[in-house]
Structure 1
Amino acid sequence: MPIHLMIVVGIDGGGTKTKGTAVECTNGKGKIISTYETEGSNFHNVGLKRARERILKTIRAITRGNFPDLVVLGLAGLDSRYDYKVLYEGLNDLGMKVIIDNDSYFLLYSQTRGGKGVLTISGTGSVVLGVDGERRIKAEGVGWFLSDTGSAYWAGRKALRHLTRVLQGLEKPSPMSNMIMKYLRVKDVDDLVYWIYHKGHRVEKIASIAKIIDKAIKDGDEVARSIMLTGSQELATSAVRVAKMVGVDRVFVVGGMFNSKLYMENFNEVLLETDMRAIKINHDPSYGALMYALDKINCEVTL
């Protein structure tokens, strides 16, 4: 029997990190070669050139320099047909065959294998994706300027606006505002303006403030608590609407914001009000794209 060997790659290119896993498939049986993680590759945030560099770096690391037969890329920032055109033209030479889609689709695929389902991502950005077998239904997921409600970036921006009012003397200082000032090394409004507008509007850096918000909640900060409750409430409301349209009673969730106890509990409470529930995905985010790739070539591997 002739030996048929293929190298298959699954990549999750998020706003904060890019993670990839490679599998070597021999006659339908696969084994993991390697995994690798680097910085985020949302091209809206870092540009196409840097996004490509980080994805290519990941592929080379996990394939040990071999040219892959199939690469499946789940990418944050692929939010429209225009994004697809730009990304496909910029990335279609990374393997013998390259398939790209939004990261949410492959994460949902990892749970449903193409069946009906709803997924909510709340990390640097946010999106709710529903698939009913015939169509895709999406809420949020069109970038930080137009959407991303309840995301880490959304929360970070809310916190920075609170800090601005504190520095202008319009609101009282809070544990959260003090923590953010220390984190950003700012002393007054001028420092904050310089950090935002002169040092560059880095989405992932603003998103990182969400961890400070969660820490401030544990210190009894009511402003921080309000930000988390509002974000989780609004995103969960969107998830409920999409789930009703798809006809399911559970919503898969993934992303750093769900690591917040308050955020996760409140999100689930909103779902429970309509007899739905949230199910947290804990596996490696690159496995969604990888599962899709493996199913395409009928290769079996234990992940």
Structure 2
Amino acid sequence: MTKKHTTPVLAIDGGGTRCRIALRSEGNLAQVEAGSANVSTDFEAAIRQIRSGLSLLCEDIGVPMQALCTVPAYAGLAGVTGEKMAERVAEALPSQSIRVEDDRPSALRGALGGRNGFVAHCGTGSFIAAQLSDGTRLAGGWGAVLGDPSSAQWVGRQSLSRTLDVVDGLVRASDLSNVLLDRLKGTAGIVAFAATASPAELGGLAPAVSKEAANGDVMALSIMQEAADILAETMRKMGWKEGLPICLTGGIGPFYTDYMPDDMRACLTQKQGEPLAGALMLAEDFGKEIADGRH
């Protein structure tokens, strides 16, 4: 039997591509979607999208905004870089009781549910998160300039850098380097593209790398293997032990399966749910804290 949730809760999952908002009440779930909501990239635009989504949700369920704003809310948003940003977001939104964090905790909770384990998320950006008996641990997620190793944009950047090494005669040409030189019209095109490419545009090169790696291309294989090695090393430093589940998530994350060490590959598991599901669970936790007088 499905568990009924008697206390309504509101969850917001905002990222660089879209923002999803859900209200769970008495076992019923209402959900809407808005546009990009990365509060570091464009704070005002992100807040507008969230507010627009809240208004749309009110229309869909037929309740006034004033009533929706009394519901305990949890927001997991890309670009929340610390407490000050979280406070700024909370002040800009109409909810009376809201907890704001970055988007890693909700992705972790959604993927693992109540289980202990690790999530290695590699989309356009990347981060690693652990849910352990002694608490939550987070690493990465600091963006393309300062990090995001093993992400799709990291893979794309590596492929271009190594293709230029081919041109310089430092490594042998490969199918991947030939594909990229042709696609971007030589070294001048590569340099011009890299100078202005967004992380998402760099990440758009990653499918070519994973495809050529599957075909045995040496250069592509080396990029994929290095990416997987970085993930494995980071998880071990964060306390991974044999037997703990690992979820590889994001657009390119699952493609690292065959490159992980044997002990970790044996522990790979499918995620239980999406970040929005995790945000709903965290909203429920927050609602219980309020009910118990702990907030």
TM-score for the superposition, normalised by structure 2:
0.77
Matched positions, count? 275
Does the alignment pair 1:224 with 2:238? no
Matched with 2:260 is 267
Q: Indicate the structure with greater strand content.
A: 1
Q: Which residue of 1 aligns with 2:15?
A: 14
* CA separation of 1:63 and 1:215: change in aligned 2, threshold 3 A: farther
How far apart are 1:158 and its partner, in Å? Answer: 0.5
Partners of 1:254 and 1:282 within 8 A in 2? no
Distance 2:284 2:260 in 1: 33
State the SS of the aligned residue for 1:256.
coil
Q: Structure 1: how far apart are the matches of 2:257 and 2:167?
A: 31
CA 1:62–1:194 in 2, change beyond 3 Å: closer, same or farther? farther
**Contact (CA 8 Å) 2:144, 2:154: kept in 1 or not?**
yes
1:92 aligned residue: 91
Q: Which residue of 1 aligns with 2:279?
A: 289
Match of 2:153 in 1: 153
Is residue 116–residue 245 contact of structure 2 (8 Å, CA) maintained in 1?
A: no
Aligned to 2:248: 253
Q: Does 1:196 align with 2:197?
A: no
Aligned pair in 2 of structure 1 residues 110, 259: CA closer, same or farther (>3 Å)?
Answer: closer
Q: CA deviation at 1:120?
A: 2.2
Q: Does 1:243 align with 2:233?
A: no
Instruction: Sort the Cα spacing of 1:113 and 1:24 in 2 relative to 1 into closer, same or farther, 3 A.
Output: closer
Paired residues of 1:72 and 1:100 also in contact (CA < 8 A): yes
Alpha carbons of structure 1 residues 215 and 49: separation in structure 2 relative to 1, 3 Å: farther
Task: Mark the runs of 5 or more structure 1 residues left unpaired by the alignment.
Answer: 299-303
Residues in 1 aligned to 2:192 and 2:106: alpha-carbon distance in whole angstroms: 39
Deviations 1:207-228 (A, max 9, x none): 2221221122233322111111
Instruction: State the distance in 1 between where 2:51 and 2:90 align.
Output: 9
Give the structure-1-normalised TM-score: 0.75
- Is 1:74 aligned to residue 72 of structure 2? no
2:128 is matched with 128
**Aligned-pair distance for 1:288?**
0.9
Amino acid across the alignment from 1:33: A
Mapped to 1, the partners of 2:98 and 2:173 lie a distance apart of 51
Q: 1:131-179, CA deviations, whole angstroms, 9 ceiling, x for partnerless residues?
A: 4455443333333333322111211110121233345565554332344
Deviation at 1:48, TM superposition (A): 2.4
* Matched residue SS, 1:280: coil
Give the % identical residues: 23
CA RMSD of aligned residues (A): 3.2
**Equivalent position of 2:185 in the other structure:** 187
Q: 2:33 aligns with which of 29, 36, 41?
A: 36
1:18-52 Cα distance to aligned partner (Å, 9 max, x none): 24142252xxx13122242644x4445x3323433
User: Are the structure 2 counterparts of residues 258 and 62 from structure 1 closer, same or farther at C-alpha, using a change threshold of 3 Å?
Assistant: farther
